[in-house]
């Protein structure tokens, strides 16, 4: 198998582990997170993953941000209804808040 094909397979396996990360990352222990990061480091050592590519925690943060943006911008998203109502503040409102 070519090295490019191995890299694609490795990234596919790594990404499937992180696909549902917003659901479980907060419940993972630090030991769990270290094992996942070790998996990624082994991939770097084996030249299957680039050291400049995002770390697992960076990928999780990015996935979480993408989910939040999807919920925020799509009023039909299943989670959109649990967002608080939007409020808009003027500069004078913010100045008043800073004083109090």
Q: Which residue has the higher pLDDT, 98 or 45?
A: 45
What share of the chain in percent tops pLDDT 90? Answer: 14
CB 86 within 8 A of CB 48: no
> If you write DSSP's letter for every residue of 70-92 in order, what string do you get?
HHHH-TTSTTGGGSPPP----HH
Q: How far apart are CA 97 and CA 74, in angstroms?
A: 30
Q: What percent of the chain has a predicted confidence (pLDDT) above 70?
A: 86
Average pLDDT of the residues in 19-45: 85
- The torsion angle over the Cα atoms of residues 65, 71, 74 and 75, rounded to 10 degrees, is -160
Determine the pLDDT at residue 94: 63
Q: What is the arithmetic mean of pLDDT over 39-59? A: 87
pTM score: 0.63
Q: What is the pLDDT of residues 82-93, one digit of tens each?
A: 988 877 767 776
């Amino acid at each position: 198998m070519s090295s490019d094909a191995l890299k694609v397979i490795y990234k596919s396996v790594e990404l499937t582990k992180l696909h549902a990360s917003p659901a479980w990352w907060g419940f993972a222990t630090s030991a769990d997170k270290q094992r996942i990061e070790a998996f990624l480091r082994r991939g770097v050592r084996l030249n299957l993953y680039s050291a400049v590519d995002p770390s697992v925690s960076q990928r999780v943060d990015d996935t979480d941000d993408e989910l939040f943006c999807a919920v925020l911008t799509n009023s039909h998203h299943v989670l959109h209804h649990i967002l608080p109502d939007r409020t808009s503040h003027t500069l004078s409102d913010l100045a008043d808040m800073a004083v109090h």
